[in-house]
Every structure is written in C-alpha cells, then in structure tokens.
Chain A
Amino acid sequence: MSKERELLLDKYSSRVFKNRKSHITQLEFGENPDEIAANSRAIPGIITARGCCYAGCKGVVVGPVKDSVVITHGPIGCAFYSWGTRRNKAKPSYEGEPNFVPYSFCTDMRASDIVFGGEKKLEEGIDEIMQLFHPKCIFICSTCPIGLIGDDVQAVAKRVEEKYGITAIGYSCEGYKGVSQSSGHHIANNGLMRYVIGKGEEAPKGKYSLNILGEYNIGGDGWEQERILKKIGYEVVSVFTGDGSYETLKNSHLADLNLVMCHRSINYIAEMMKTKYGVDWLKVNFIGVGATSKSLRMMAKYFNDPELTKRTEEVIAEELAEISGDIEYYKSKLKGKTAGIFVGGSRSHHYQMLLRDFGMETTIAGYEFAHRDDYEGREIIPQIKADADSKNIEEISVERVVGYEDRYSLEELKDLRNEGVELDNYSGMIKDMKEGYMVVDDYNMFETDQLIEAYKPDIFFSGIKDKYAIQHGGVVSRQMHSYDYSGPYAGFRGAVNFGRDVTMSLYTNAWSLVKPPWKTMPMLEGTLGGAG
C-alpha cells in the first residue's frame, strides 16, 4: 500500500477503514489496472459532499430546461435551495420564448398535505400555472415525503397532459433514492428519453448537426462551445440541458452525432439514443486548450469530410492565435504548481487537462457521485455488480425505431476508434493521471483535509462547502461547481478566463497579510522576565 494512502486510512476506526479503503486508490499503474469502488452508500456521519436524487434530477438535469416549468412537489426547502443557485445560464433563443429558469415553483406541502396527500394541491397548482404561464412542458420533481405518502405524480402528469394537451412528466426522484445525485440523473434521463426525445419532427438544416449532452452551461460554458462549433459550421440541434429547451430536445434524435461532456449525468441518454435512433456518441472534453482541439479533430474525423477537416484546422489555428499570448502569460505564473480537485460528474477529469495546459499537475482527484466507469473507463461496466440501491433505479430498454440507420457499420466504427475517435466509449479519468497520485471516491471533509496536509497542493478545486474551510487553512480554494461566479471556462476563451482566475486567487495580495507583523517580530528587549 502506498504511503499517503496508508497514512490516511490509518486514522480511521476499523469499521470505517473497511469501507473507505476500497474508495481510496493511490495510483500504481502496475500489472493489474488500478481499481476503485464507487456508487455505493455514503457512511452516515462521515460528512460526505454528496447531495441527493432530487438534486441530480431537478437540480442538474431538468432544472435548466428553460421553456419548461419545473415544479418541486414537497415541502418548501428543496425548491428554495435549488432556486437560482447553480449558474446554469439561460436566455430566450427567440423573441417570445419563455425562460422559467429564474423562477421557483413548489407545492409547499404542509402537515395536512402529508397526512391527506398532496395530489390535489399539485393539480390545483398546475391549473394556476397553466393560467398564469401556459407552458408547453411541465416537469414534476418529487422530494422525500412524496414516495412515502404515496402521491402518484405520474398519474397527475397524465391527467395534466389530457386536460391541457401539453407534455407533463412526473419524476419520482425522492432524495433518498439511490446513494447520491447520480440516481437522479438516471431517473431524469429516463423521463426525457420516454417523453421528450423523438417527439419533434423538425430536422436539422445544416450539413453536420450535433447535440451537446451533459453540458449545463455553467458560467456560459455551453455558449462558448456553441460559438466554436458554429464557427466551424456545425449546427447545434440541442443542448442537454444548459440553456436547453423542450422545443429543441424533442428534435434531438434527428442530429448526426451526440457529443458527451459530463459522462456521468447523461450517458444513459447517449446510449439509448444510439440504440433507438442510431446516433453515435463521442466523449468530448471542451475544458482545456489541447482537449478542445483534440475533441474538434475527433469530430472532423468522424464526419470524414476534407472540407470540414480544413475548416476545423483553420478555426483551431485562429482561436489559438487569439489566446496564445494570454495562455503563455498565465502559464508563466502557474507552471510547476500542483492542484487537488474534488467535484462531481466529469469535471475532475476535464480540469486536469486544462491545468496541464498551464503546466500544473493534479495530484489528488475525486468525484462525489461517479461510478467505476468514470474512473476506470467503460470497459469495466460488465464487471460492475448492481447493489440493492442501484437496483431500485429503473433501467429502461429501448429498441431501434424503424427508419433510423447507423451512420457507420461496426467495422467502420472500429476503424474510427483505432484512429483515435473515442466513439460510444469513455476511457475514464485514471488513465490521464500519474503514479502516486491519489484518487478518492465519495470524498469527505476529513479526507480532504488530510490529503491537503499530505500533498500540500497550491490550490484546491472543490465546492462551497469545502472552500472556506480550506482557505482558513491557508490553501487557495476555488469553486468548481459555480466557478466562483466567473466563467466561462470551456473552449479557447474559457481557458484564458480560467488561467486569469487561478492566477488571481494564488497571487492576490491579501495572502501576505494573514500573519500579523507582531507574530513574526521579536519582542522588545526588556519586556520578558520579571525583575531580572
């Protein structure tokens, strides 16, 4: 066992040790691939960073769908905490398109609703929403008590659809389902697949069309990606779901290719769209200069059109010329520094690429709610045994719809993969890391602090719950969920923003003021001692 890992685990009682040892891996790259346990229950009392199923469903996946009303069915809290707190930016795509993202809707259940059921209140509330806003789509997201008291949100959704001729989806995404946000992603994916994707008939007009999956437009990341893609000549049919809309998601099955950013939260849809509509998916990473260029080149190879390849190279060259001065400057400030990163879905992997652009290494990395494939690559999936908690989350199966063909044969896909086009696959975070680095699944507060002590990174990327504690300890911490209210960090221009922000936080003058001068100065002579 490697040194830092041993030191960390030694501090636990045998009970906790037994559980956590399989979730903490110090990379060896030995004969056998490094393994890690994931997507299992958090230990009560450990201070996990995880959230819940509702947070994954409402907060992450369906919340950003801007033209739809997302109702939180339950007591007020969850609607309050998920209101305007995630920075999934949205604006109307055309005049008159409604944008409900700044709103929070909740049935605000009281004790009597818990006792007598909340379906009636929910339906009355939806009548009011129809009268006030007449949306085309409504999502109902259940919080903890709903499943326990037996409210049937699917039945309510069905009645609403019949009454108003709109799309209404009832989600049983109660907070206790699964072991983290991840179950909520899955549930949200299932609903979108069943009731939204494939409902539209508006075919893309461009020669090459795309969906961006698992991009939530935090800080405007999705917009920077769209800017680059459109500059090359791609048509972006829909984005799941940052600045996304019901109106565009329902046509997404007609796109040529799915790009997958956050693998964890959206891989279900990517897989099901491949099966049902023959749309291939490509794991891309638009975080980092090199990573963005690589992703764009893979896309060009996929479509295999000399014109597109030429245009891709032109755009990459133009974009690099625009940012290279800034990147070099920030690299001169950041080179050689080390980082730790604990975030959600795929960011802990993506940002390592961007940090490397600036000459920084990430020595500690972990996820809140990843599965083994996010760490080890999708080849591990057949070996993953579903536990009781995973089995509670519905797996839906889809079949090929008549009239939809695969673009490439299996043989052609194999050739493309051999050429480095990572189609219908994700090889995970670990392979991009180095020996001795630490990978932690479902990290907790204690481990974060211990690892910072052991590895002494210059900066630690995490969330708001960790940020101020880490900074009190004298280590710079930046939020990787909200970008500390900055961004975008994606694409070429985003890389510059990121370099600027990291430099700013490392070099801000106030760090030199932490210690008062009298703590470092010798005491005045004669003030020590008594008479003598």
Chain B
Amino acid sequence: MLELTPKEIMENRHMTINPCKTCEPVGAMFCALGAEKCMPHSHGSQGCCSYHRTVLSRHFKEPAIASSSSFTEGASVFGGRSNITTAVKNVFDIYKPDIMAIHTTCLSETIGDDVGSYIVDMEVPEGKTVLYASTPSYEGSHIQGFSNMMIGFMKYMTKKTGTPNGKVAIFPGWVNPGDDRELKRIAELMGANYIYFPDHDGTLDHPMDGKNEYFHDNAGTKAKDIEAMGDCEKLISMGIYCSLEPSEYLKKEYKVPFSNIPVPVGVKLTDQYILELQKFTKKEVPKELEDERGRLVDLMLDSHQYVYQKKAAIYGDPDIVYGFTALCLELGMTPRYIITGTPKAHWEKEIKALMDQYGVDESEYVVKADTDLFYLHQLIKNESVDILLGSSYGKQIAKAEDIPLVRMGFPVLDRYGNPIQATVGYAGAIRYTEKIVDAMMDRKDRDAADEDFDVVM
C-alpha cells in the first residue's frame, strides 16, 4: 500500500497528493440539510451535486437529497439564469420543500453568475423561501462552504423583531447528528431555552420507519427558529472555522453577542461549553452532568497507562482536529503530527497555543495547515507514530505503516454507526477514550509474546 511514496520530504509542492480537504459546495449542502424541509441546490454542472450527495450518503449511510442546475456548455457560456429558474419551479413542484438553499460551484463562480439577483426576480411559491450562498470551490475548503451557507440562511431568513426571545442560539459547527443530540441534551440539562442551527438530528440519521420521504417532520432547524435567531440574547458557537464568521454576521446584523468556543471534544472543552451555557442560564450544573464528567475522568485515570506518551498523528478539519488534539493531551498522549488541508495558516498558531498549555515545546510536534495526506505519510515514514486519528482516507497510511487508526471527523466512509453517536461532550469523550485505549490495548495484545500475554490488564 502506497509503496510509491518516498521518504524524502518534498517541501512546498504545487501538486496536492491525497488531499485532506474537499471543496466548499459540499459544506454548503451539508449545512442546508440541517434545516427543516430544505432542499440544497447546487448551481453548476450536475456532477458536483452527484459527488456531494454521494460522499454525504457514504458518511451518514442515509439519503442526502439535493438538486442541481445541470449546466451544459450553453449555460456555461450564456449564464445559468434559465437553469436556476427552471430548477426552482421543478423542485417546488415535484419535491415540495419549504426552503431551497442554493450554493454556487467553481463553474458558476468562474462565469460570474449573479445568483443573488436571479432569485430576486424569480417566482417563488407563497410561503416558500429561496436563499443563496456563494461557495467558490477554489477558495477555502468544505469548512468555508459550511460557514458561508450558515450566513446565507441568516441573510435571507433571520429577522429582528426587537423583542428578545429569551433564547440562546447554538451553532455546533460541522458535527454528526449524534453530536447534535448530545449538544442539545447538555443544553437542556442546563435548563437553556435555545435555538440550535444547523441540526442534522433526524435529517441525516433518520430512524428506520418504513417511510421513504424526501423531508421529515420535526427534523432539522425550523424556519421560524432560523428567523428568530435575530432575537436571541446570546450565541454560543463552536469551532472557529465553521462558526466564527456566521457568529460575527449575527452580531453585526442583529447585535447578538457571542462566545466562540472550540468544538467540545474532551473534558475541558466540554467544561467550557457548559460554563458558557451556565453564564446564560445562571443555573447550577446538574448532578447528572457532573457524574458523567466524573465517570469520564475516572476512565481516563484508570486507563492512562496504555496511552501515556503514545504518539498520535491527528488529521482532518481544523475545528475537529483542534478538539482531538485537546483530548489527546488530556489523555497524556503526545500529538506528534497535527495536519489540516484547510488553507488557514492561523490555525497553526491556535494549535501551538493549545500545546503551550501543556508545556509541549514546538520542536516536539509538527503542525501544518493547507497540506495533504501525502505529506503526513512522508512525516510518518521519517518518524512513525503509535496511532492515527482522522478520516477514512488515513486507512491507507495505517495499512502501509501498520499503525492503528481511530476514525473521527469527516468523512468516515468505511465504518457504520459512527455518525449516530456522539463525539462531543463527556459522552463523546468516553466513547473516544474507549476507542483509543482499545486500539492501543489491541495492539499490545497482538504484539505480545505468549509469556507476556495478559488476561487481566
């Protein structure tokens, strides 16, 4: 596997090899699938839409329904106004969503299609919404596309009535439906009255109910809640790269103050989420949550000897990698390589600040944004690690170098059941601590000589 990858590192390549990111539109599509009865729409050639639906379906093991403007050469020359106008008519006629959330592609962006003005002139059925976000594939990554689409929703739907609704808005960032449930559960335990956006609980992990429906009732953030975000008293948003720009937008347009915190992976980051909720609710943290935290820390202490100073390579999207770096540090592990494909140089500084909290010297790790898995593999060929944490695309490196892989983030294409469970919160940390410890212990068992093979560990 990957035996053609040489050990000698080639710095500053022009060619990306084995990417650690994908393009903006898929992020926009994913975001839009977190709104109730919303049809994401890809304004470009239909291949984009097919690719995005496919990768989302493969990750969530669920239908990812979205439509396309189906550009041909003619539309690429003369513009896509007629395509989008037809598409909007057909989608409302046939599939009957409440909202159509249009995002652009590198094709429609390169030709300079002005979707914003097209939709102003369009006939939209009574009570339905058409909105749009610009998501050029040649900028940022899928994370930026997600963030842009959140702003798209707010731009077209959010209002301020002037009467505060007593709610806290929660932006979870790019997480799984299992995480949405966990973050909402914590908010409820904290007694918060909240609006949660986007919410994939029930849209991308819909229960098996024998019904093939395009849209489900009570799944996804409701239109009236997206509208009401302007009246929220506070916003707690998670992840700098998924949620900071949308948070700034909500603040700028509707004067909603926000706290942007990391995606709550591990103990301290979950503590931070709870403290932010507490600032809003002014209520005591319930025993239930404190007990969960206690069980997590207990598990970490009980099992620490199997993970202590184990070297980890963590790769994927900037926000989730940050969270997992924090979890690894809490577990006493040594994050050795910390990689994202998303082109945001500042992220390296944030990781460094986190490592500084634990007194880890810069010489002891490599952190790099805007890079690829080929680079990560080359690093590992020079100095290996004990565990890989990241998407399914690391499995090639895992096999080539015989390193256990614990799957997290996006996309996980080759395992079942992951997205319906939590990664965040104490519950998520319990799950991932178990996964990481199991991986290390399985390895120890596998490699043990018969005389060293322990039944009790």
Hey, which bits of chain A sit against chain B, CB under 8 A? Answer: 12-13, 15-16, 41-55, 71, 74-85, 98-100, 102-111, 113-114, 121, 124-126, 128-129, 131-133, 143-145, 147-149, 174-181, 388-389, 392, 445-446, 449, 452, 463-475, 514-515
Contact = CB atoms under 8 A, between A and B. Distances in A.
B89 interface: yes
A78 B83 CA distance: 22
Contact of B210 (A49, A80, A515): A515
A467 B63 CA distance: 7
16 contacts: A44-B90, A47-B65, A51-B46, A55-B50, A75-B137, A78-B51, A79-B16, A99-B4, A105-B15, A175-B48, A178-B73, A388-B74, A446-B94, A452-B212, A468-B61, A514-B210
Contacts of B10: 128, 131-132
Contact of B90 (A16, A108, A124): A16
Given A50-B50, A104-B18, A176 B45 contact: yes
A83 B393 contact: yes
A91 B259 CA distance: 52
B187 to A, nearest CB: 28
B110 A144 contact: yes
Given A45-B67, A46-B90, A84 B72 contact: no
Interface stretch (B52-60, B159-167, B273-281, B344-352): B52-60
A110 to B, nearest CB: 5
Contacts of A78: 23, 47, 51
Contacts of A105: 15-17
Contacts of A131: 10
Given A83-B393, A145-B138, A464-B58, 18 more contacts: A45-B67, A45-B68, A46-B90, A47-B95, A52-B47, A77-B22, A78-B51, A103-B374, A109-B138, A110-B138, A114-B106, A114-B138, A145-B107, A178-B72, A180-B46, A389-B72, A452-B212, A469-B65
A108 B19 contact: yes
Contact of B107 (A144, A178, A474): A144
Contacts of A389: 72-74
A44 B211 contact: no
A45 B41 contact: yes
Contacts of A13: 89-90, 93
B65 A445 contact: yes
A76 B61 contact: no
B212 A470 contact: yes
Contacts of B14: 107, 121, 124-125, 128
Given A125-B13, A143-B106, A44 B19 contact: no
A12 B88 CA distance: 15
A326 to B, nearest CB: 27
A38 to B, nearest CB: 15
Nearest to A393: B73
Contact of B46 (A52, A74, A174): A52
A178 B70 CA distance: 11
A514 B207 CA distance: 10
Contacts of A99: 4
Interface string B1-19: 1101010001001111111
Contacts of B2: 102-103
B94 A12 contact: yes
A174 B393 CA distance: 26
B211 A71 contact: no
A442 B67 CA distance: 14
A475 B68 CA distance: 26
Interface in B260-278: none
Contacts of A114: 106, 110, 138
A445 B65 CA distance: 9
Nearest to B54: A464
Interface string B129-148: 00000001111010000000
B67 A46 contact: yes
B63 A465 contact: yes
A464 B393 contact: no
Contacts of B94: 12, 16, 45-47, 446
A90 B271 CA distance: 48
Interface residues of B, number: 82
Contacts of B76: 144, 147-148, 174, 176
A80 B48 contact: no
Contacts of A515: 210
Contacts of A128: 10, 13-15
Contact of B72 (A80, A129, A176): A176
A176 B107 contact: yes
Contacts of A15: 89
Contact of A472 (B17, B47, B209): B209
Given A103-B4, A106-B16, A52 B50 contact: yes
B75 interface: yes
A259 to B, nearest CB: 29
B23 A75 contact: yes
B211 A76 contact: no
B69 interface: yes
A181 B45 CA distance: 11
Contacts of B208: 471-472, 514
B335 interface: no
Contacts of B4: 98-100, 103, 133
Interface string B343-368: 10000000000000000000000000
A132 B5 CA distance: 8
A107 B107 contact: no
A158 B140 CA distance: 32
Interface in B194-230: 206, 208-214
A81 B55 contact: yes
A322 B340 CA distance: 51
Interface in B74-113: 74-76, 83-84, 86-91, 93-95, 105-107, 110-111
Contacts of B326: none
B418 interface: no
Contacts of B64: 465
A47 B49 CA distance: 9
A16 B107 CA distance: 25
Interface string B433-457: 0000000000000000000000000
A53 B94 CA distance: 26
Nearest to B52: A81
Contacts of A109: 138
B382 to A, nearest CB: 15
B404 interface: no
A52 B45 CA distance: 7
B51 A51 contact: yes
Among A13, A77, A102, A470: residue with most chain B CB under 10 A? A77
B258 interface: no
Contacts of B19: 76, 79-80, 83, 104, 106, 108
A24 to B, nearest CB: 15
Nearest to B373: A104
Contact of B63 (A51, A106, A144, A469): A469
